Amino acid sequence: MFALVRVVAQRLGLGVLVLFAVSLIIFLGVELLPGDLCEEIQGQAATPETVAACRKELGLDKPAVTRYLGWLGDISKGDFGRSLANQREISELIGVRLSNTLFLALVAAAISVPLALVLGILAALYRNTWYDRAVNVVTLSSISFPEFFVAYILILFLAVKASVFPSLSNVSPDTEFWERVYRVMLPAITLTLVVVAHMMRMTRASIINLLASPYIEMANLKGMTRSHIIVHHALPNAWAPIVNVIVINLAYLIVGVVVVEVVFIYPGLGQLIVDSVQKRDIPVVQACSLIFAATYVILNLTADILSIVTNPRLLHPR
Amino acid sequence: MTSKASGKKIGELLLEMRDLRIDGQSDEEWHPIIKGIDVVLHRGEVLGLIGESGAGKSTAGLAAMGFARPGCRISGGSIVFDGIDLVAASEEERRKLRGVRIAYVAQSAAASFNPAHRLIDQFAELPVQHGKSSRGEAEADAKDLYRRLLLPDPDNIGYRYPHQVSGGQLQRAMTAMALACRPDLIIFDEPTTALDVTTQIEVLVTIRDIVDQFNTAAIYITHDLAVVAQMADRIMVLRYGELVEENVTHAMMSDPQEDYTKTLWAVRSFQKQHAAKPEVSPLIKVDHVTAGYGPVMVLDDISFEIHHGQTVGVVGESGSGKSTAARVITGLLPPRQGQVLVNGQPLPGDYRKRSKSQLRHAQMIYQMADTAVNPRHRIRDIIGRPLAFYLDMKGDKLENRIRELLNLIELEPDQFIDRFPGELSGGQKQRICIARALAAEPEFIICDEVTSALDQIVAEGILKLLDRLQRELELSYMFITHDLATIRAIADDVIVMLEGRIVEQGPTKEMFTPPHHEYTDLLLSSVPEMDPTWLDRLMETRRTEGVMASASTS
Amino acid sequence: MSDSSDSGITQTADAVPPPPPRQRRWSDAWREMKKAPMSAKFGLIVIFGYVFVALFAPVLTPFGESEIVGAEFEPWGTVGEQGKTFILGTDNLGRDMLTRLLFGARNTIGIAFVTTCLAFLIGGVSGILAAALGGWVDQALSRLVDILMAIPALIFSLLLLTIFGTSIPVLIVIIAVLDSTRVFRLARAVSLNVVVMDFVEAARLRGEGIGWITLREVLPNIRPPLVAEFGLRFCFVFLTIAALSFLGLGIQPPTADWGSMVRDNATLITYGDVTPLLPAAAIALLTVGVNFVVDWFLHKTSGLRDDQ
């Protein structure tokens, strides 16, 4: 057990380290601006005096290390600073949108994870049959589609031609739960279509890899039934790869929402970051990037740790 | 063989495979792997299937269970097990036979045990799933079998996971598992190939005892003649999926009929003419070397010398440090302490600090010829590169020298010079490696298990070639191997290594005559001999001398 | 020991099929192509078609790339003032849709191709070097790549585009650098498998320099996976650029580009008009084609059938 705890602790430590490195990169990125933030804000109207005043106000006259530590300290208290575009508290802007984005990702995950696992395991078990080949071609194609292509096709057929779902997913904080689910259905299906292909191909590959192991052949030669082999011999060893597949794709979902949110004009974090990039509202872009990156890092870390704790070699050391 | 047949009766017909044909799929086409062989086995009988790699012995063994690996298919012939036609039977009928009446012991126990379950769970699922006994009965039986197979701590070892148990013990645990339902037939597929000789012998002994005790019929698959001679009542020699020869063991061993079989048997006949050791200073002197990786010490104060025109054989089991010694000499692993001297001059510890001529004088030949030559280079480039690199050869001079070297290693230049390694056999590739080493015009060549991956006849050819080159070119060899027969054939001096130390060294003739160091003795006596009574005699001596007790704890 | 008997034994025991002739690479390739599955043939035809259109766009198109030739959003088949037909109608500014679509092939594919090449140059070279040199070089490069890959690529490129502005060179460099991390990982991983081989050790012990080891020993052995990865990376880069253009942050007007064409004409969808789907379909068709070919190539070269 000690070995296990040590390895997990190592990974957690590493994860924290990565988060720091990521925050540093996001912070330093802005330092690379030709000129600085104040010249950026004031644009044509900049005079040396106003720029200097602005620098003082934003603390840009202090050394970079001090500013970085201050920035990090503020963020840990939930204070991301103010938007350049409208002077609002960024944390206020982000709050509702983050929960909207997570909601959309969760709905998509709730549909796509079970679907992908079932399809992937079936493709692995019925390998090289017409089902497997058809699935291969279909998933290869759907991986190749840009998200907005899928999204507009769905809008065309499910919103315009047959008015099953709304083409715009406008929700507000007081929209009730089922209404919310109904409104995010099209973006959720879009995300599902994109992510299911990936997830099921990965599931299929890891299950086939597993079924090729000598201990599965041994179980066959011991005369075990097919269902016993799958449940007792394949499944306990399949958790690690499958969990990995799921988590990696959840991370992909969170990031993949950006384009989909824009298509469906859904008030999430992705739309905010795109708007802010267009307005060059740097503090907001920084904040959103940090949140996306942190989610991504944490999910990948989770996958890592889950695959460690399901490894019998670490669970039962010599 | 009477000694093995003692105490058991060879009974009625159990398995009959007639005109067995199996195809394998590669590149979307079917190719024959087994081209029509007949196998007949009676109750209580042990049949040895022997052949070189690719002879189709494993495929034939699995066919006895009505099983074909993915990508293979049984394309013809009949397989009748105790009156049941396994080809015509449904998959469900075949499944019910497997593990119950026909069991299988795989080559790699480490890979064939499920890492997620304890040994005893994997034992117990057999009788429980087949409805033969309850879980409790199965566990009690497992412990009993573990005891009979001489596993340490038989009452508790089953509650360990596979990775917590050593290779030799796992192999015995797998044999116990095969016995769980007291099958009529067990297929042993190279069960000791992955083990060291001293471990192999324990597994051989327990397998044979258990087969005797339960009067089980067995098919024993191996490439090792000496092993099969100890285990089998009858031997079938396979080659390219066809039967070469079949006979009872003692007749087969004493009087093989077919030319191919004779060449197999004759393999160990080669014996080098020992040259007198020159009285001058040694070519290579390894002087009190200590080395290791990170915190792990692999070599502990090693010293030895290699003289001009002589071969020093280094022998030891896996992990003994014999390959590490070679890495120190080549400079891949700088020593922590001590040094390597060439003609009395110390060599820099790191190969990157050595001069071109220092590098040129010590060449290396590897175990796996497949990975020792770049598959994307033509033979011309492989042999030509050292010539161009060290000796600045170009144009016609280069071309002529490459052809000369190919002639030297007995490969026809016109036929081989433009080939890629993939178009050569294993033995031919090893010859190319020798030519590449010779191209540098070295004084000294390290041969790291150069014959271990080759079939025996091919290995014999390589040994003869190396011997001839040594005489013609006055080369010195450091010959690393785990195979004592090879050492005996080629070495002038022998070094025996164990756990990073030299336990004994001296001239080959003296080393192979007693008295030996205790470990040398264990190692020497564990090497299977062709004599079918060898294992019995050995066990007799060990029982009286008590060597086995120390060996079985390893 | 007589040599003749020795080589006699060698031949019987060590027989090998006669060497296949090596000269017919092209006819081999043609034969392989004819044996290819339908999906791969389809992919090859698509790729050749796109390359043809990209090369000859100015000849094939009836109008100039950003020439305004008629009213906005003309339906398919409208005849314009110049007497030429707008086969696919006009866009939101009154430019000919077909013309924009064909020029889009040139711009979108060209930029994605250049970006992928740059990504391979950066990632491939550093990956092989990291594997061959090992030690602190490998450690430093690998840790750097770990951290860069910890930030999702799309988000990272959004951040960088905010800072550096959106121009085509900036876009190419940013995407190439971010994508090179994945190339680095693959190149390093496959090189590591080769670097541990005895023939590389033999070359090191011969005293060969790093140039020979990477270019002559390692590179020829990792070509197939790198070629396959090039196809996959191209698709990924192509889709990323399309997504960025769609978000209005990639290729900027008036350059014809499929991603921004979807964005500009998206409103038509709400009237049930499929025109804006055409550039999107053009993107999808090419990536599908490339993916099919890569899938087949992986089958052929490495037996990596089940590797995703």
Mean pLDDT, to the nearest integer, of C35-44? 85
- For A71, A244, A250, A298, C144, the CA distances from A14, given in Å and listed in that order, are 22, 18, 21, 11, 13
Q: Does B412 touch chain C (CB under 8 A)?
A: no
Subunit contact A278:C161, Cβ cutoff 8 A: no
The residues, ordered by sequence, that sit 6+ positions from A148 with a Cβ below 8 Å of its Cβ are: A259, A263, C243, C246, C259, C262, C280
Contacts of C1 in chain B (CB under 8 A): 464, 467-468
CB pair distance less than 8 Å for A223 and B97: yes
Q: Looking at this protein, which amino acid is placed at residue A135?
A: V
User: Looking at the partner chain, which of C162, C249, C283 has a beta carbon nearest the beta carbon of A146?
Assistant: C283
**SS3 assignment for chain C:** CCHHHHHHHHHHHCCCCCCCCCCCHHHHHHHHHHHCCHHHHHHHHHHHHHHHHHHHHHHHCCCCCCCECCCCCCCCCEECCCCCEECCCECCCCEEHHHHHHHHHHHHHHHHHHHHHHHHHHHHHHHHHHHHHCHHHHHHHHHHHHHHHHCCHHHHHHHHHHHHCCCHHHHHHHHHHHHHHHHHHHHHHHHHHHHCCHHHHHHHHHCCCHHHHHHHHHHHHHHHHHHHHHHHHHHHHHHHHHHHHHCCCCCCCCCCCHHHHHHHHHHHHHHCCCCCHHHHHHHHHHHHHHHHHHHHHHHHHHCCCCCC
B183, two tokens = 């099958």
Secondary structure of chain A: what % helix, strand, coil (to 5)?
80, 0, 20
Per-residue confidence (pLDDT) for residue B218, from 0 to 100: 93
Chains A, C: CB pairs < 8 Å: 149
Coil/strand/helix, residue B85? strand
**What tens digit of pLDDT does each residue of B427-467 get?**
899 999 999 999 999 999 999 988 887 777 788 888 999 99
**Preceding amide of B442 cis, omega within 30:** no
B89: which DSSP letter?
Answer: S
* pTM greater than 0.90 (yes/no): no
What was the pLDDT predicted at A35? 62
Task: Select the residue of C148, C158, C266 nearest A273 (Cβ to Cβ).
Answer: C158
> A111 is written with which tokens?
């549909």
Cα of C222 to nearest chain A Cα, Å: 22
Tell me if C295 and A258 make a contact (CB, 8 A cut-off): no
Residue type, C81: E
- Record the tokens describing residue C284, joined without a space: 């999808």
Please answer yes or no on whether A222 and B125 come within 8 Å at the CB atom. Answer: yes
DSSP string, B109-157: HHHHS-TTS-HHHHHHHHHHHTTSS-HHHHHHHHHHHHHHTT-SSTTTG
Query: Chain B: which residues have CB within 8 Å of chain A?
Result: 62, 65, 67, 69-70, 95-100, 103-104, 106, 108, 111-117, 125-126, 129-130, 160-161, 163-164, 177
pLDDT in tens, B143-155: 999 988 888 889 9
3-state secondary structure at position B479: strand
B9 pLDDT band, cuts 50/70/90, is low
- Could you say which of A21, A148, A273 has the minimum Cβ distance to residue C246? A148
Backbone CA torsion sign across A230, A234, A238, A239: positive
Does the complex come out with an ipTM higher than 0.85?
A: no
Q: Are A104 and A195 in contact (CB under 8 A)?
A: no
Angle at A157 between CA A155 and CA A160, to 5 degrees: 65
Q: Which spans in A155-234 are helix H? A: 177-183, 185-211, 214-221, 226-228
Q: How confident is the model at residue C72 (pLDDT cuts 50, 70, 90)?
A: confident
Inform me whether the C-beta atom of residue A32 falls under 8 Å from chain C C-beta atoms.
yes
The nearest CA of chain A is from the CA of C2 a distance in Å of 46
Give chain C positions within 8 Å (CB) of B359: 205-207
* C-alpha separations of C32 from B420, B423, C21, C40 in Å: 21, 20, 16, 11
Give yes or no for a contact between B508 and B313, defined as CB atoms under 8 angstroms apart: yes
Indicate which of C7, C12, C14, C300 best probes the interface with B, i.e. most B CBs within 10 Å of its own CB.
Answer: C14
> Taking CB atoms and an 8 Å limit, are B354 and C207 in contact across chains?
yes
pLDDT for residue B549 is more than 80: no
- The answer to whether residue B550 scores a pLDDT higher than 70 is no
Q: Is the pLDDT higher at C282 or at A83?
A: C282
**Looking at beta carbons, which residues of chain A come within 8 Å of B96?**
223
Q: How much is the pLDDT for B140? A: 94
Nearest to B10 by CA among B183, B216, B158, B195: B216
Helix H or strand E encompassing B37: strand B29-42
Tell me: the pLDDT tens digits for C127-138? 999 999 988 999
**pLDDT reading at C227 higher than 60:** yes
What are the chain A neighbours of B116 within 8 Å (beta carbons)?
A: 233, 236-237, 312
Q: Tell me how far apart the alpha carbons of residues A168 and A264 are, in angstroms, rounded to a whole number.
A: 5
Residue pLDDT tens, chain A, 318 long: 677 788 888 888 888 888 888 888 888 877 776 666 677 667 667 777 777 777 777 777 777 788 888 888 888 887 887 877 777 888 888 888 888 998 999 999 999 999 998 988 888 888 878 888 888 888 888 888 888 888 888 888 888 888 878 878 778 777 788 888 888 899 999 999 888 888 888 888 888 888 888 899 999 999 999 889 988 898 888 877 888 888 878 887 877 788 899 989 899 898 898 888 888 888 888 888 888 888 888 888 888 888 788 777 777 766
- Do the Cβ atoms of B376 and C220 come within 8 Å? yes
Determine the Cα–Cα distance for residues A303 and A301; give it in Å rounded to an integer.
5
Rounded to the nearest integer, the mean pLDDT of chain C is 81
Subunits with 3+ C-beta pairs closer than 8 A to C: A, B
Kindly determine whether residue B375 and residue C16, on different chains, have CB atoms separated by under 8 Å.
Answer: no
Which of A105-114, B76-85, C213-222, C246-255 has the least mean pLDDT? C246-255
Q: List, in order, residues 6 or more apart from A235 with CB less than 8 Å away.
A: none
User: Nearest residue on chain B to C196, judged by CA atoms?
Assistant: B371
* Residues of chain B with C-beta less than 8 angstroms from the C-beta of C32: none
Q: How many residues does chain B have?
A: 554
Residues β-bridged to residue B321: none
- Amino acid A318: pLDDT: 60
Rounded-to-integer distance, Cα A70 and Cα A67, Å: 5
| pLDDT > 70: percent of chain B | 95
Mutation for testing the A interface, residue in C159, C160, C271, C305 having most A CBs under 10 Å: C159
Cis peptide bond upstream of C254, omega within 30: yes
CB contact under 8 A, C280 and A293: no
Return the partners of chain B (3 or more C-beta pairs < 8 Å). A, C
- φ/ψ bin of B401: left (φ > 0), alpha (ψ from -120 to 50), beta (otherwise): alpha
Tell me the average pLDDT across C1-26. 43
